[in-house]
Structure 1
Amino acid sequence: MSADLAMVLVLLVAAIAMFAAGRPRMDVVALVMIVALPLTGILSVPETLAGFADPNVVLIAALFVVGEGLSRTGVTYRLGDLLSRVAGTSTTRLIVLLMLAVALLGAIMSSTGVVAIFIPVAMSIAARTGISPRQLMMPLSFAGLVSGMLTLIATTPNLVIDAELRRAGHGGFGFFAITPFGLVFLVLGIGYMLFARRFLGGDAAGPGHLARTISGLIADYGVDARTHRYRVGAGSPMIGERLAEAALVDQRRPGVLMIERTRLLRGTQRFTADEAVVAKGDVLFADTAFSAADRERLRLERLKMTDEFFDAYSRQVGLAEVLIAPDSAAAGKTVRTARLAATYGVHVAGIRHRGHTIDDGLADARLAAGDTLLVTGSWSAIHRLGRSRRDYILLDLPAEAAEVAPAANQAPFAIAIVLLMVVLMVTGVVPNVIAALIACLLLGIFRCIDMSSAYRSIHWPTLLLIVGMLPFALALERTGGVDLVVDGLLSVLGGAGPSVLLGGVFVLTAVIGLFVSNTATAVLMAPIAISIAAHLGVSPYPFAMMVALAASSAFMTPVSSPVNTLVVEPGRYRFGDFVKIGTPFTVIVLIVSVLLVPLLLPL
């Protein structure tokens, strides 16, 4: 092994270790690698930064904008409403239609975005029909993953593999080259989930899911058990100060859900705490139990709690459940440092982490992707938080659909524009990236999307990840790393024939995908698969297709894909649920792929 290859492997192992640990963020890891690779002398600076000019990177960014256009015009939510009407109360029919709808949209949108949109739709249907969310969430994630096998643009790894084929001097995949395989796995996936759902339990909607009322959410998060009422007395040092700045216990602001203020002729007003300057006679609803000494110092009179206190105030003070999205800026921060109050004007009233409610120390609780938060604030503040879907996904809010579809009247234009984009891509009249950019321009012209929402919709960490990992493929090829892996696979499996090698490529891709993102996995595995085909003197397309199929087969753990992470908390799943349900289906996909790929893409 040469010194250059050793340096590249050290950087690669370090990147994989950081990806697996989740620290730092994947885009930061990518930037570190962009800085480190030129310092090795193996790649030049232009070679390392070439990914920023890659047409597929621009194409992926444009597709994020197209997906946002469909969301802003309400196309996705209308599809969810239609699904709810057609499915009725049949769980079987609902699972079939839900998986078909997610797969259909996921074929032209980000699968993570589609699943994020359909989680509240499925939760709402579960509440109305009494179906347990455990029966719906995992089919949702499976359909999101399978959607990556339906079209060339369905998922980033497909585009990465297509680009590697072209770089190696071969023709790329066609728009629907992967579709026959995806359709087979979609049918198998639906049938499998109809059978496997019985092992998920939850035949009926459990407490806190059926009829998600304000009082139900409060009870589910234990807010009622830890909330106390205090009246601000004369001489309190809090009077005249904003609550967030008031001198409180240990110089910390307690978790104040709201302030109640009664004034002559104006009746009783209730509002969120940070908006108010504390006045004498105000009643504070706080999740902090003050000691007798603190009550004396702050001149607070303890009052008896009223039953169902929040229901009476719902017109003035809002309450909602939100999910921490993958790659959210809040992940890894505490509630205090996430600054939801300062940024959105909402207060965290409860947290659920991996199925358990956090009862103490909410302000210092560390947030993670997949956690759900119960937030309180004015309805306008909650709506504002709901529009920040990159970090927080709104789960329970009656007015949600109207708020996240501000361009609902433009839905026919959005549908027509997306169909035009697909036609341009399929016919090859213009390059794929130009077709996507045309769609973006038309979405703007017909007011389906504005510039600010277009920029916000682009998932910059994903783009940086691609740009940061692409140079590794060139570095491994230049230093002999690709040949080393290829020779190893051929020495172990070469005598067993191409079909066994196809299975080996699938298994290696799937195993790497357990630790790093499927995009990074595709970047690493695509040149290896193509090189194996070259050594055997056979077509590269079956081997490239195996990488694409395996990259989308992240069914085995809740951390294998952001799609899985999203459904863990709404479905109340454990790690073992994914292992139990996902592993057998991954084996099914492996066996069918080994049999089907050589038939449709001859060696």
Structure 2
Amino acid sequence: MITPIVILAVSAIFFVIGKIRSDIVALCTLLSLILTNVLTPAEALSGFSNPVIIMMIGLFIVGGAILQTGLAKTISGKILKTVGTNDTVILIVVMLVTAVIGAFVSNTGTVALMLPIVVSIASRARVSAKKLLMPLAFASSMGGMLTLIGTPPNLVIQEALTEAGEKGLSFFSFLPVGIVCLTVGTITLIPLCKWFLSKKDTSSEDNGKKQKSLTQLVDEYKLTEQLQILYIPQDSKLAGMTMSKLDLNNVYGLTILERRQESSINNKFIKNINQNTVNADTVFNSKDVLFVSGDSSMVKRFVEDFNLSVMKTTDKRLDFYDIGIAELVMLPSARLLGRKIRNTAFREKYNTNIVAIRRRGEYITDNLADQELKSGDILLIQGTWTNIEKLGQYEEGWVILGQPLEAASRVALTHKSHIAALIMLCMVIAMATDFIPIAPVTAVLLASVAMILCGCFRSIEDAYKTINWESVVLIAAMMPVSIALEKTGASTLLSNTLVNSLGSAGPTVLLAGIYLTTSVLSLFLSNTATAVLMAPIAMQSAAGLNITPYAFLFAVTLGASMCFASPFSTPPNALVMQAGRYTFSDYLKVGLPLQLVIGIAMVIILPFIFPY
């Protein structure tokens, strides 16, 4: 019995110190329980096969798709239009919205859905994400107290009541308790976040300064100023012609930045934009849409010579879904120095285009074919992201500025946002209702796979990159601790000792003891396991005092669910840990006072809502 308690105490010390990563501490805790024969290997590894862990992984992918498709940015923009940029107002709105969703969806699912949206809100409102993400996790747990299905401990106490022959709870029996909990929690978190979570995180800003954004490159080289969007009708002379025969760059001095199909321009709900670069073997077809850059007089001549149509649009912008741009610096050792671009066969050899040159502060975009490459030239190149990345492997005489594949990962696939929204909505409906008879973990896995298959990620690798493995390992490794405490009888001894010692002091003191005991146990056990353990003790305590058990059972579900003082006590707390760059001490400084304040408030209020 002593062994698991000692191991947990040592682990807690390392968590607080924060010198070792939390997932490594959790794994060492797990290994210690195996080596001391407290747990068998099968018991110790059971957390990694737990449906909650599988659900977490799937929700990371769903959340990543919401972010990658720009859906989070769209939703956050609408929220900001309503609430402005005041950090306190944003915190309140985030908590309210999260709590409402959390009343019907699992708190893990709620946080995973809201996390990319809240990160986007923080970025656009210039508010520290650290100040919003912990309240997001806590609000999801508070929202679970609003309805019967909001959190598993609610169902546990409902079952305890019905088995004891007491009147069961209705769907909204929890609403008064949940409203009080959310109100007290929000009021308490406002000052706590200002005091302890307001330190500005500049690491992302510093990283952002190292590489120009795609928008900055477009503006710097004035690509859109000379951009024309042309349409190839069926009677055009260009239909059926190859790029090599056209010789557009030499004859007209123009550059085709990309080629698209008409359907990808006009379909406003489900777009399947296939961006294509143009090479010597490219065959132009009728209904192709060409993005052409160059002198306007030469564009006009090109249009007249081949009977093309100029598409009228006020939104002349370049998208970077499949095709990207980057800067390439020519070194003194470059093999191509002194050659005119027309003689380098750059497009044919490297499948990329040179669309502009920066030379001694001058930007050259016209008649590029006749420009001789010189040492120190910075070429703006365009092609598929993969081909741009490969350029650095072909020659030692040039250097790619920045990291193209990282730049690509930051480009939102906005044409897929409607699909991502539809998949997310179906997942939420499946999790919140019985309309679709599947388990929540199945709904999440279906949604995550659908996001990948529908192209909401650029590649499967991008989907895997959205998974925060540190959080996954942390929760999976700490889950079996509850088995160790139950197996050795430590949890039962603790709960019985505390409750028995307070039983003679009156119902209110006993109520406080039950809440405190449940809260302490929930630091080490899952909230469901804690509720299962404490519900019969609460029932017996109420029977011993000959009073109704409702207040005591609500103290159990509150103590089990309102666990904020540890990052591994609930999956939502772990989900936001890395995104918010929190340490274990952050949870102690903010979560512990919040947990105590809510506990005091509920001990006072519960007897009024559910009289003894």
TM-score by length of 1: 0.53
Deviations 1:78-100 (A, max 9, x none): 11100122234666654543444
Aligned residue for 2:74, secondary structure, equals helix
- The answer (yes or no) to whether the contact 1:149–1:179 under 8 Å persists in 2 is no
Q: Is the 8 A contact 1:148 1:552 kept in 2?
A: no
Match of 1:48 in 2: 44
- Is residue 150 from structure 1 mapped to residue 143 from structure 2 by the alignment? yes
Structure-2 separation of matches of 1:601 and 1:584: 25
Which residue of 1 is the match for residue 83 of structure 2? 87
**RMSD of aligned C-alpha atoms?**
5.7
Which residue is 1:529 aligned to? 534
Partner of 1:72: 68
Residue in 1 that maps onto 2:444: 436
2:121 matched residue in structure 1: 121
State the match for 2:560 in structure 1: 548
Match of 2:404 in 1: 380
Assess if the C-alpha contact under 8 Å between 1:502 and 1:546 holds in 2. no
Distance (Å, rounded) in 2 between the aligned partners of 1:478 and 1:378: 54
Q: Deviations over 1:527-553 (max 9, x none)?
A: 653464265255784344123333146
Shift of 1:417: 1.5
Larger Rg: 2
Q: What residue in structure 2 maps to residue 15 of structure 1?
A: 11
Q: Quick one: which of 463, 467, 478 aligns to 1:469?
A: 478
Give, in whole Å, the separation in 2 of the partners of 1:578 and 1:184: 23
**C-alpha deviation, 1:485, in angstroms:** 0.7
Contact 2:61–2:448 at 8 Å: present in 1 too? yes
Quote how far apart the aligned CAs of 1:497 are: 4.1
Contact (CA 8 Å) 2:33, 2:39: kept in 1 or not? yes
2:359 to 258, 262, 268: 268
Spell out the pairing of 1:164-183 with structure 2 (5 A cutoff). Answer: 181-183=177-179
SS in 1 for 2:562: helix
Distance in structure 1 (CA, Å) of the matches to 2:192 and 2:414: 35
Change in 2 beyond 3 A, CA 1:496/1:455: farther
Partner of 1:298: none
Q: Distance in 2 between matches of 1:19 and 1:423?
A: 35
CA contact (8 A) 1:67 1:110 kept: no
What letter matches 1:437 in structure 2? L
Seen in structure 2, the aligned counterparts of structure 1 residues 56 and 216 have a Cα distance that, compared at 3 Å, is closer
Mapped contact 1:200–1:577 kept (Cα < 8 A): no
Offset of 1:21 from its aligned partner?
3.0
SS at match of 2:509: helix
On the 8 A contact 2:57/2:472 being kept in 1, the answer is: yes
Which residue of the partner structure matches residue 111 of structure 1? 111
Q: Tell me how far apart the structure 1 counterparts of residues 82 and 88 of structure 2 sit (CA, whole Å).
A: 12
Q: Aligned equivalents of 2:574 and 2:15: distance in 1?
A: 12
Task: Give the Cα separation in 1 of the matches to 2:145 and 2:586.
Answer: 32
Please state whether the residue corresponding to 1:429 is helix, strand or coil: coil
How much has 1:481 moved relative to structure 2? 1.0
Please give the per-residue CA displacement for 1:357-410, whole angstroms capped at 9, x wherever unaligned: xxxxxxxxxxxxxxxxxxx962736535xx4xxxxxxxxxxxx5x537673242
Per-residue CA deviations over 1:544-578 (Å, capped at 9, x if unaligned) read 412333314679xxxx8774786589xxx9x8999
In structure 2, how many angstroms separate the alpha carbons of the residues matched to 1:197 and 1:9? 32
Letter paired with 1:432: P
Report how far residue 34 of structure 1 moved: 3.9
Give the letter for the 1:433 counterpart.
Answer: V
Residues 201 and 40 of structure 1: CA distance in aligned 2, closer, same or farther (over 3 Å): closer
- AA aligned to 2:538 is A
Judge conservation of contact 1:476–1:482 (CA < 8 Å) in 2: yes
* TM-score normalised per structure 2: 0.52
Deviation sequence 1:472-521 (CA, Å, 0-9, x none): 323322322123212331244232345434434544666788xxxx6767
Give the distance between the partners of 2:46 and 2:473, measured in 1 at CA: 12
Q: How does 1:420-499 map to 2 (within 5 A)?
A: 420-424=429-433, 429-444=437-452, 446-448=454-456, 451-499=460-508
User: How many Å apart are 1:457 and its aligned residue?
Assistant: 3.7
Aligned-pair CA distance for 1:150 = 1.7
Structure 1 unaligned residues grouped into runs of 5+: 127-132, 219-257, 271-280, 284-312, 317-341, 346-375, 388-399
Distance 2:209 2:479 in 1: 50
Residue 440 of structure 1: how far off its partner (Å): 3.7
Residue 459 and residue 421 in structure 1: after superposition, are their counterparts in 2 closer, same or farther (change >3 A)? Answer: farther
Report if aligned partners of 2:482, 2:524 keep a CA contact under 8 Å in 1.
no
Q: Which letter maps to 2:125?
A: I
1:186 is matched with which residue: 169, 182, 187? 182
SS at match of 2:437: coil
Confirm or deny: 8 A CA contact 2:511 2:555 kept in the other structure.
yes
Taking structure 1 as reference, are residues 568 and 458 closer, same or farther at Cα in structure 2, changes over 3 Å only?
closer
Q: Tell me the residue number matched to 1:334.
A: none
How many residue pairs get matched? Answer: 426
- In structure 2, relative to structure 1, the CA distance for the partners of 1:50 and 1:180 (3 Å cut) is farther
Partners in 2 of 1:200 and 1:30 — Cα distance? 25
Once residues 57 and 561 of structure 1 are traced to their aligned partners in structure 2, the CA distance between those partners, rounded to angstroms, is 11
Match of 1:363 in 2: none
* Aligned 1:357-368 pairs, distance under 5 A: none
| SS, match of residue 80 in structure 2 | helix
Preserved CA contact (<8 Å) 1:69 1:414:
no
Q: Which residue of 2 aligns with 1:591?
A: 600
- Is 58-67 or 445-454 further displaced after alignment? 445-454
Assess if the C-alpha contact under 8 Å between 1:64 and 1:457 holds in 2. Answer: yes
Q: Aligned partners of 1:508 and 1:423: how far apart in 2?
A: 31
Aligned counterparts of 2:514 and 2:528: Cα–Cα separation in 1? 14
Structure 2: give runs of 5+ residues left out of the alignment.
Answer: 213-327, 341-356, 362-373, 382-388, 393-399, 544-548, 568-572
Partners of 1:582 and 1:30 lie apart in 2 by 20
Shift of 1:145: 1.7
Find the aligned partners of 1:70 and 1:174 in 2 and give their Cα distance.
34
Q: 1:433: how far off?
A: 2.9
What residue number does 2:58 align with? 62
Rate the CA distance shift 1:565–1:70 in 2: closer, same or farther, 3 A: closer
Shift of 1:30: 3.5
Alignment of 1:278-427 (within 5 A): 378=402, 380=404, 383=407, 387=409, 402-403=411-412, 407-424=416-433
Letter paired with 2:135: F
Task: Identify the residue that residue 300 of structure 1 maps to in structure 2.
Answer: none
Deviation sequence 1:7-34 (CA, Å, 0-9, x none): 2323332332333333543333343344
Question: Are 1:413 and 1:448, in contact at CA under 8 Å, matched by a contact in 2?
Answer: no
